[in-house]
Amino acid sequence: MRTGLSHRRVIIVGAGQSGLAVAAALSSRGLQPQQDFVVIDAAPEGQRSWATRWHSMELLSDARHSALPPRRLPGDQRRHPRVDEIVDYLTYVEAGLGVETMWGVRATGVEHRGNGSTLHLSTTTGEVQTRNVVCATGAAALPHLPEWAPALTVPGVVLHSSEYLYPRQILSGDVLIVGGGNSGVQLARELNASHRVTLATRTPRRRRPGKSYPAAGGETVSALSRRRLPEPVFGEGYEQLRRIGVTIRPAVIGAHGAAVTFADSTSSTPGSVILATGYAPGDNWLPDEARSTQSRRTATGLPGLFVAGMPQYSVRGADTIFGVWRDATTIAHQIVNRP
């Protein structure tokens, strides 16, 4: 069996749900892992981003819509899986495909040189040539922090939702959660049992009952794309949170020292602050030409470079486990039929 990155038809960057979806789609087309394609990931071995999410986090979609079509999640298909189940599930998918991910290898750039069809992929272990590169580094790879966040100092902690694991991290007393998307609402409900919670939100939260949108995605459920696509919201509305004791406030527009300022010009001095302010996509290593007008979904302005699981390169919902499968099958078809 070949080892390393040399002489592969495809290099998939990212071993999360998007990367494994592409691996599964390529396998279904007859391509062999390690021989025809290889998967690399910047994380330490097995440490997919799902493993860093807070312990009680549940997906917003049920198990039926939280798995890749080739391999369903075991157990009751009506339940909402926990993040630890997704971590185990992706490991199960990886093993079932026979993929041996090369962990600890970060992609730092990709370019086309000369007149041929070869791409040059730069990584932390050196440069490698290949015909196809798939960017599967996640629609929610980099925590997005408000500009005012560095100016905030509080008695407790200031942390992004990506750093939150359990209520004991937060100093007892009051906590301000900034961001009224799905993550902010889930955290408000969890912390309300042990803290005095204020949730600051930019826009009203409108429930969409009966509208099924699989939101198990993007390495987190509160992904924001580079174009800041609005996040679909599910579950509890703000009135329900008010009824259990959560205080709802307007958006935070600034901070200085221990005080935050809301959009209605009032201020507050919270004990701790959680920034549920979303994420940026992991496409910062792609060249500008890759973001030019695309002729078709998942393809980029650089021939041979594809992007999986990012709505701004595809369609809404591409950053979900269920939705990324459409991207994966499209990419596999394009790679197999690429001259």
d(CA 335, CA 330): 9
From the CB of residue 17, how many other CB atoms can be counted at a distance below 10 Å?
Answer: 34
Q: To 5 degrees, how large is the angle CA 298–CA 7–CA 12?
A: 30
d(CA 244, CA 7): 59
Q: What is the mean pLDDT of residues 267-279?
A: 95
pLDDT value, residue 76: 81
Q: What is the mean pLDDT of residues 52-66?
A: 73
- Domains of the chain with bracketed CATH: 8-139+281-336 (3.50.50.60), 143-275 (3.50.50.60)
Question: How far separated are the first and last CA of the chain, in Å rounded?
Answer: 26
Report the chain's mean pLDDT, rounded to a whole number: 84
pLDDT band at 182 (very low <50, low <70, confident <90, very high): confident
Q: Is the pLDDT of residue 228 over 80?
A: no
pLDDT digits (tens, 9 = 90+) for 229-261: 344 444 567 889 999 999 999 999 999 999 999
Q: Is the pLDDT of residue 310 over 70?
A: yes
**Main-chain dihedrals φ then ψ at residue 22, nearest 5 degrees:** -65, -40
pLDDT value, residue 36: 96
Q: Is the pLDDT of residue 41 over 90?
A: yes
Residue 106 or 235, more confident: 106
pLDDT value, residue 121: 95
Residue 192 or 87, more confident: 192
